[in-house]
Amino acid sequence: MRRLSIFGSTGSVGTQTVDLILRAGGASAYRVVALTGGRNIALLAQQARQLRAEIAVTADPALLGPLREALAGSGVEAAAGPEALNEAASRPADWVMSAIVGAAGLLPGLRAAQSGAVLALANKESLVAAGKLLMRTAKASGCRILPVDSEHSAIFQALAGESLERVDRIILTASGGALRDWPLERLAAARVEDALAHPNWSMGRRITIDSASMFNKALEVIEAHEFFGLAPGQIEVIIHRESIVHSMVGFCDGAIMAHMGSPDMRHPIGYALNWPERLPLPIARLDLAAMGRLTFEAPDETRFPALRLAREVMAAGGLAGAAFNAAKEVALDHFLEGRIGFMDMAAVVEDTLDRLSSGSGLQIDAGGLEDVLAMDHLARVRAAEAARARDGMTGR
Ligand code: NAD
Ligand code: MG
């Protein structure tokens, strides 16, 4: 029986992964090693009982007691805190889903990569912050990383049987997010609720806001650069409102392979779960005639500066990705707490990158774990300063 672990099993990607595993027979089809979550102890315990997991881990040490209580009599081991997460990631498994949100997913993902498991990677932040390190670690252990982000899964599928040397470019599609039609003057005053109203995808809160600011697409451009090893100039972004084309690959002979389907994360999750086979999945079939047409338009970088920042980060290389991701997470926290405006998020990230590139330098190509964590920490401090400065400026 295949041994599986899911990091972030209580989140949007995590619950959809559990759904597919249950449909495929749950504990009678797979041996579930570790399930991990944040503060939703009731859900974590329910999943662990249902899938007869070996261990359930909450990220919050203060919740160990409640987790133990919720698991009493189940035979499932309970643990808590970042160290326990890393320990769970070191337990032998054949397939590991990395679906924690943010830089917190980096260490468990790296541990899983070291163990040589197949790593289904939803946590794009780990590729942005430490792409070289993660790819190097996976290569050394024989770990196969499968992208779960829908765009990257689409590209991965379009590349099956092809050679990367024959690729001209990849075209990442973007829905444009909840605020895609808002003029610049209005964007500055956008509230959290406005940014949460995503037109096509139902996702976690943080990625939904990132989608509205296009920071999600900016992370995905860097993710594609790190994962597929393509040059920054080969990665394009196009706004595609319908979210039916999940991304495209353009080849040297002028052909473009587009991957299409309903916007349902269970497709890329299921593809990674069943890989290298393609098995039936419970995804709504497209009715193209009913849809009528698909549209494409260029992104507007004045309203959404995140894409420009992503190109600067790729040009800088080194630890710039770690700084970018950390600064973005801090800016997002400040926006969620109502302390800075929507457009301030990009300004905070840009200020942070500017300040760090004139100081110790982002370009050092060290890229060991210590360097990545040190840069992550430094960028968080700088970004918090930049956010406080904006807070004062806007008088919120
Ligand atoms: P989510 O917020 O719904 O779930 C995140 C999971 O991580 C939860 O289980 C939560 O408890 C856990 N978690 C949060 N903070 C943690 C911490 N500090 N330590 C340990 N665990 C923590 O997020 P999501 O939307 O499922 O996204 C997960 C990852 O997948 C992100 O990297 C996101 O960018 C990526 N992704 C998500 C989607 C989607 O449709 N939701 C699509 C593509 C990529
Ligand atoms: Mg995506």
Residue range 25-67, pLDDT digits in tens: 999 999 999 999 999 999 999 999 999 999 999 999 999 999 9
Report the separation in Å between the CA atom of 241 and the middle of ligand 2, taken as the mean of its atom positions: 14
Position 271, amino acid: Y
What residues line ligand 1, using a CB cutoff of 6 Å?
8-14, 37-38, 59, 99-101, 104, 122-125, 149, 201, 203-204, 206-207, 265
Q: Provide the pLDDT for residue 199.
A: 85
- Please report which ligand is nearest the Cα atom of 148: 1
Output the known binding site for NADPH.
10-13, 38-40, 123, 125, 204
Give the start-to-end residue ranges of the domains of the chain. 2-147, 153-291, 317-394
Report the separation in Å between the CA atom of 382 and the middle of ligand 1, taken as the mean of its atom positions: 24
What span, in angstroms and rounded, lies between the C-alpha atoms of 220 and 238?
13
Q: Provide the pLDDT for residue 202.
A: 86
pTM assigned to the model: 0.97
Residues in the chain, pLDDT under 50: 395-396
Q: Provide the pLDDT for residue 93.
A: 98
CATH number given to 317-394: 1.10.1740.10
What span, in angstroms and rounded, lies between the C-alpha atoms of 308 and 119?
30
What span, in angstroms and rounded, lies between the C-alpha atoms of 49 and 125?
30
Give the burial string for 144-168 (b: 16+ CB within 10 Å, else e): bbbbbbbbbbbbbbbbeeeeeeebe
Residue range 134-151, pLDDT digits in tens: 999 999 999 999 999 999
Dump the DSSP string for 107-176.
HHHHHHHHTT-EEEE--HHHHHHHHHHHHHHHHHHTPEEEE-SHHHHHHHHHTTT--GGGEEEEEEEE--
What span, in angstroms and rounded, lies between the C-alpha atoms of 187 and 343?
7
Q: Provide the pLDDT for residue 395.
A: 46
Q: Whose CA is nearest to atom 2 of ligand 1?
A: 204
Of 1.20.1050.140, 3.40.50.2300, 3.40.50.720, 3.90.180.10, the CATH number of 2-147 is 3.40.50.720
Q: Whose CA is nearest to atom 31 of ligand 1?
A: 101
What span, in angstroms and rounded, lies between the C-alpha atoms of 287 and 362?
48
CA-based nearest residue to 106, from 74, 73, 80, 82:
82
Report the separation in Å between the CA atom of 207 and the middle of ligand 1, taken as the mean of its atom positions: 8
Strands 55-58 and 77-80: parallel
Local structure of residue 297 (DSSP, 8 states): B
Token pair listed for 370: 């210590």
Q: Provide the pLDDT for residue 365.
A: 60
Number of residues that this document lists for the chain = 396
